Each structure stands twice: as C-alpha cells, then as structure tokens.
Amino acid sequence: MADDDTILYSIPRSHVAHIVLNRVEARNAQDTAFLYALNDAFDRAAQDDDVKVIVLSANGPHFSSGHDLREPDGHGAMREHRTVGTWAGFGRPGIEAQFSREKEIYLGFCERWRNIPKPTIAAVHGKIIIGGLMLMWPCDIVIAADDTMFMDHSVAMGVGGAEFFMHPWELGVRKAKEMLFTADWMDANEAHRLGMVNHVVPRAELRDRAMAMADKIALKPLFALKLVKEAVNAAQDAQGRRGAIQTSFALHHLAHAHNMIAHGKLVDPTGLMGPMKTQAKAAE
Ligand code: ZN
C-alpha cells in the first residue's frame, strides 16, 4: 500500500471493500505511485475471499483530474514498483519506453481492473477529465452525484482519446465523436441518458447510495456474481471491444510519436493550456 495514504482501503461493512482516491490536493491526479497503490488495493480486494463487492470513490472536490502530467520522472518511477505486466522496456530509447509504460499503468491496469471478477461500483462526483474516466470506466456500475461533469480534451492535446479507449462503448458512436471533437463538458444527467452512468443521486447521498447497492449485491453468492460478470464482459468482447482498444492504443502512440517529432513533447503543448484557453485560441 502507499506510504502516503493517497489510496485508502477499508472494509466498512460485511463483504464490501471500499477504496478511496485520496490525493486530494492534486485533485486525484494520477502519478505512477498513485496508480500502483490503486492497483494494490484492487488486488487486495480481489484476493480476499470474504469481499464480494468493491466500491471505488474519491475524497476532495473532484473524482479525478486525469493523469498527472507534472510528474517529474514517470519512467524512473516505474523502477520503484514490481510491474504486473511482462512487456518491460521502461528504460528504452525512442517511443518504446512510453509505449511500455502506458501499456502497463494505463491500458494494462484498466483492463486488469475491468476483468476483476467481483462486482465493482464507482461512486463519482465533481470533475472527471480524460484519464479520470479511465478510473471510472473499468467499474461495472457507476453512480454519479448530480454535480458530476465529464470531459475529454485529448484531441486538443494532439492525441485521440485516452489509452483505455472506451468512449464508443460508453457513449455510443455519435456522442463519443462529439465529446472528442468538441471537448465540451457533459453533465451527469446527459451521461445517465446515454447509459454511461447507472444512477444520478444528490451529492450528499452518493456514498450511502453506493453502499446500499453494494449491500444488495453482497447478499448474492460470490461465485454466481463472478460467473455472470464474466458472461457480460465476454458479450462485450465478442462485439470486438478488445480488438478496437488495441487499435486505438496503437493510434494513440502514433500520436505521441508524432508530437515528439513535431513539438518535442508527447502532447501538443497548445492543449496543455487547458480546455478553456485552447478553445479560445481555436476561436481566434
Ligand atoms: Zn498516452
């Protein structure tokens, strides 16, 4: 577990594990240590046979502001952790190190968490931006506070969407394109209408409502829960999800390589100014 408590873990009621994002001062931006701590927490819940349901929520004003682009040495930080994938290559030159890193801590972790056989519930609130979506989407159920706002301005940063490219599956094809092309904010009610969230609840009731659903699920036999989750995930993968994700991940890294050549950075620096300034500049 993390020494600095950026991820909290508890068993607040029978058969329910509660994981809390707690890097509050950074708006739960995800650096390498944070993601490994979160992965450790998911592993701990997955391997505890007494846990039937996992609830993921966040402290602070926002669920997650995305990847921490200010981490000084993300590649060096990989050496401090026992990796879960076998790709390796984190210290290699060219785009190889970045591809290896993202294959482990972004796409790799998200697929891993999505495939935990136990039911997972994300209780989300506040702003959720690009990589923030990648902590929510791997969960089976999403309960959103009525103040939740979702946004992906990755295209303004010169890369087409995040590494766990679930946009078409979560939003439908047309709305996925609109979100990516415009970088407009989407509110909780619109996300609910599109099926990206299961329920919208008052902010003050968010954790209680998530725990109430967890309690209801925890009454069911764990093996049957695991089997039915596997069946639903298999149905989605039979529709081509896994292959589509691999294609988008390759295109994402084509964009990183392009940006390195064109701008000397993994992303187009114009987009780093933030969505508001980027849109103002585009309108000039
Ligand atoms: Zn990337």
Domain ranges of the chain: 7-204+221-282
Contact 173, 230 (CB under 8 A): no
How confident is residue 273, by pLDDT bands cut at 50, 70 and 90? confident
Interatomic CA distance for residues 123 and 210, integer angstroms: 6
CA of 12 to the centre of ligand 1 (A): 35
How confident is residue 274, by pLDDT bands cut at 50, 70 and 90? low
CA of 210 to the centre of ligand 1 (A): 31
Angle (CA) 104 149 69, round 5°: 40
Q: Of the ranges 12-26, 77-91, 138-152, which one carries the lowest mean pLDDT score?
A: 77-91
Interatomic CA distance for residues 96 and 85, integer angstroms: 15
Q: What is the mean pLDDT of the chain?
A: 94
Predicted confidence at residue 267, as pLDDT, reads 94
Predicted confidence at residue 272, as pLDDT, reads 74
279 pLDDT more than 80:
no
**pLDDT tens digits for 61-108?**
999 999 998 998 898 899 899 999 999 999 999 999 999 999 999 999
Calculate mean pLDDT across residues 39-67: 98
Calculate mean pLDDT across residues 228-257: 97
Predicted confidence at residue 277, as pLDDT, reads 55
Predicted confidence at residue 160, as pLDDT, reads 86
Q: Identify the residue whose tokens are 């994981």.
A: 19
CA of 279 to the centre of ligand 1 (A): 21
Interatomic CA distance for residues 179 and 155, integer angstroms: 10
How confident is residue 275, by pLDDT bands cut at 50, 70 and 90? low
CA of 109 to the centre of ligand 1 (A): 14
Q: Tokens for 235, please give them.
A: 């149905």
CA of 209 to the centre of ligand 1 (A): 34
The 3-class SS string of 187-207 reads: EHHHHHHHCCCCEEECHHHHH
CA of 102 to the centre of ligand 1 (A): 6
CA of 167 to the centre of ligand 1 (A): 15
Contact 80, 33 (CB under 8 A): yes
- Top pLDDT among 282 and 242 is at 242
**pLDDT tens digits for 210-227?**
999 999 999 999 999 999
String of DSSP letters for 44-95: HHHH-TT--EEEEEE-SS-SB--B-TT-TTHHHHHTTS--SSS---TT-TTT
Contact 233, 115 (CB under 8 A): yes
CA of 256 to the centre of ligand 1 (A): 7
Angle (CA) 101 21 76, round 5°: 25
**Listed residues: CB within 5 A of ion ligand 1:** 102
> How many CA atoms lie less than 13 Å away from 17 in the CB half-sphere?
23
Beta-bridge mates of residue 121: 55, 141
CA of 253 to the centre of ligand 1 (A): 7
1 pLDDT more than 50:
no
How confident is residue 2, by pLDDT bands cut at 50, 70 and 90? very low
How confident is residue 114, by pLDDT bands cut at 50, 70 and 90? very high
Give percent of the chain above pLDDT 70.
95
CA of 65 to the centre of ligand 1 (A): 15
CATH superfamily of 7-204+221-282: 2-enoyl-CoA Hydratase; Chain A, domain 1 (3.90.226.10)
